[in-house]
Chain A
Amino acid sequence: MLPLRNPQHFGCLLFHVDTMPLIKWKNHQTENIEVSLMLSALQQRYGYDFSGYARASLKRRLMALTQYFEVAHLTELIPAMLYDEAVAQTVINSISVPASEFFRDGAVWKAVREIVLPGLASFPRINIWQSGCGGGEETYTLAILLHEAGLAKRARIYSSDINPAFLDDARAGCWSRRHLDDWRENYRKSGGKQDFEQYFVARDGEICIREELKQSIEFIQHNLVTDQVFKEVQWVVCRNVLIYFGQELQDSVLHLLSRSLERGGYLLLGHAEKIMQLTEHYPDLEELDDQAQLYRKKVCMIRSKVHDHL
């Protein structure tokens, strides 16, 4: 028998267990526990850490999987996900959303034509890092812009994504024709003067980007959460990726992006991804166009106190 050092205390504990009310949980709060458990399983088994992602939309995407797999509760997917990599890939694909378009937000690319491209031309070499390339629509948008500005030969685009399946799609560079009207309209709004369709060839009922436009691009797997800066670049394009991150993760990723920029280099974020408290948190960056969310790494840091004392 266990020695009971304090029988009175023991009695007291029993009393508590008897009457302790089970906290009433609403279903949606219990689902939040399920989301955490899924993320933990995914992280321990496959190494992908989504714990810092913005919860509301992440939960919505995960809950949609219960319908897809026809299960009553999200956690029922954990065993399948742990033992079947195909299930895990489906889960990862549903967490990372590849949605993209050619020249999405036309006015933004107009600002790029007017501000970024002439600026880039002044650098001896032009390296561009596009993080979160999804299916490649935006990657080839960059290639077309460089081509039209006569910079394609001097530039290299490093396009990265966390999801290797998306990188394969992006490399292939083929899409359904049904997008063409929307993309042509976006292109026109960006100030494009050419015939947009000339950048594609028709193949098996799809449109595929011309091989010439692939030449300056390298696709690489890179995870913004766990991987480091891999190159100093003159332009970072990271659009509609930060919205998927929670505040803390967003901060650390913004610092990573800013570190990889050469001084005078440009940072382009998604149309609705405004950097809050820019001057306090990112003294190295300045805003060039708040409609386009276009920033620049300052050419030289303002010398502070030390300078004043001299």
Chain B
Amino acid sequence: MTTYKLLVIGLSAGGYPLIKRILQALPKNYPLPVAIVAHLPGGDESNLAQLLDASAQLHVRMATDKQVLARGNVYLAPPGYHLLIEQNGDAPLAFALSVDEPVKSVRPSIDVLFDSAAEALETSLIAVLLSGANSDGAEGMATVKKLGGLGMVLDPRLSEFSTMPEAAIKRVEVDYVVSLDEIISLLLSVDEKS
């Protein structure tokens, strides 16, 4: 039986109401820390943490460099920085940031977060892709699957901006292509599994 240790979520255009609902549903004692890359049009990311924190039960905040991941928290990539997961030997999981070139013309990039999380956590990772108007996240999801993590993608037929989920399921076979409600209940069932 797998013990999951981290949940990563990627979203872009149209993703805000979706992530809001997911975070409203996750209980205060949710067993996994959550790391999110969201690129929203017009640089709206800056106060995204505050907006989401107001309605979530978990503590939502902007990730900082070298910060150790702890359950009970949801971390957002700071605007303008890639967010990566570092696993060094026995040290606890920590974030790392970079201002390396944008990937697929975005920074933060979902691919960068998913790739680094997959390498750090292999089978102990859950990755979720919601909605967006570009193909960011598809490569990252492929890495997650290659290294044995659990991959979920929002059903593109239920998404206003379906390019992102479509690109991902075209690129790699994931475990679930389902509605938001089903994603939420799958994420909640982790509680009992781990």
Show the binding face of A for B, using Cβ within 8 Å.
Answer: 26, 28, 54-57, 60-61, 97, 99, 104-105, 240, 242-244, 246-247, 250, 270-274, 276
Contacts and interface: CB of A to CB of B under 8 A. Distances in A.
B119 A243 contact: no
B96 interface: yes
B183 to A, nearest CB: 27
Contacts of A250: 66
Contacts of A61: 100
A57 B96 contact: yes
Contact of B97 (A26, A55, A272): A272
Contacts of A270: 65
A99 B66 contact: no
A250 B62 CA distance: 20
A161 to B, nearest CB: 15
Nearest to B68: A276
Interface of B: 62-67, 78, 80-82, 84-86, 88, 91, 94, 96-101, 112, 115-116, 119-120, 122, 147
Contact of A244 (B91, B94, B98): B98
Contacts of B66: 247, 250, 276
A272 B64 contact: yes
Contacts of B64: 272-274
A97 B98 contact: yes
16 contacts: A26-B147, A28-B119, A54-B84, A55-B88, A56-B84, A56-B96, A60-B115, A104-B80, A242-B65, A243-B65, A243-B81, A243-B97, A247-B94, A271-B80, A272-B64, A272-B65
Contact of A246 (B62, B88, B100): B88
A57 B98 contact: yes
A55 B65 contact: no
A57 B100 contact: yes
Contact of B98 (A26, A28, A104, A243): A243
Contacts of B115: 60
A97 B65 contact: no
Nearest to A276: B66
A55 B89 CA distance: 12
B142 to A, nearest CB: 13
B97 A60 contact: no
B97 A56 contact: no
Query: Which of B82, B84, B120 has the most chain A CB atoms inside 10 A of its CB?
Result: B84
A272 B84 contact: no
Given A56-B116, A60-B115, A272 B100 contact: no
Nearest to A134: B99
A272 B81 contact: yes
Nearest to A107: B46
A282 B72 CA distance: 28
A55 B62 CA distance: 21
Nearest to A104: B80
Given A56-B86, A57-B82, A105-B80, 11 more contacts: A26-B122, A28-B147, A56-B120, A57-B100, A60-B115, A61-B100, A97-B98, A99-B101, A272-B62, A272-B63, A274-B64
B65 A56 contact: no
Contacts of B65: 242-243, 270, 272-274
Contacts of A57: 82, 84, 96, 98, 100, 116
Given A97-B99, A272-B65, A60 B112 contact: yes
A243 B100 CA distance: 11
Contacts of B80: 104-105, 271
B99 A99 contact: yes
Contacts of B63: 272
Nearest to B148: A26
B100 A60 contact: yes
A104 B99 CA distance: 12
Nearest to A251: B66
A157 to B, nearest CB: 21
Contact of B99 (A26, A56, A240): A240
A200 B86 CA distance: 41
B179 to A, nearest CB: 32
